[in-house]
Structure 1
Amino acid sequence: MFVILVYDVGEKRVGKALKICRKYLHWVQNSVFEGEISKANLVKLKKELEMLIDNDEDSVILYTFRSQKYTGREIMGKEKATTDFLI
């Protein structure tokens, strides 16, 4: 499945949230990630974030799609992160 994840967490937890999300998804820009992920890894990702966030202060939003085929993506301005890999 294809996932877009957006988070807004407290300053003390931002680094840890970034590290967790980078294990499973591609960083797009500040607090935004996307990518293909298995159901099992999505469960792991959610569990790790649940253990990190403060439910009274933080927010994590997950958009899930069956595949990337039905999504569109348009970038306006500077692209913060690319999915290109250097060899």
Structure 2
Amino acid sequence: MTKNEYIKQLADLAGVDRDSATALVEAQSDLVENAMRKGEQVTLPGIGKLHIKRNEARNGRNPRTGEAVAIPARNVIKLKVAGALADAVA
């Protein structure tokens, strides 16, 4: 589902116009981004929890050449899916 399809379906389900649905999606995106920048966990009801995980620096290998490559440490965003959603998909 694309962003435009998501906004259209959200507008239809909520009974609001497309501009209002677009504003809601953009506001939610901004809220999640700001919270994640602060290092906070974000709970999206019915979807799951977003949290930050630290991947430490490690050594890897270039699959083409087999040469050792240093992989730097970085933060990644993880999603723990809500149980109801996981059950619905399974």
What is the TM-score when the length of structure 2 is the normalising length? 0.27
Bigger fraction of residues in helix: 2
Name the larger-Rg structure.
Answer: 2
What is the TM-score when the length of structure 1 is the normalising length? 0.27
Q: Which has the higher contact order (CA 8 A, sep 6+)?
A: 1
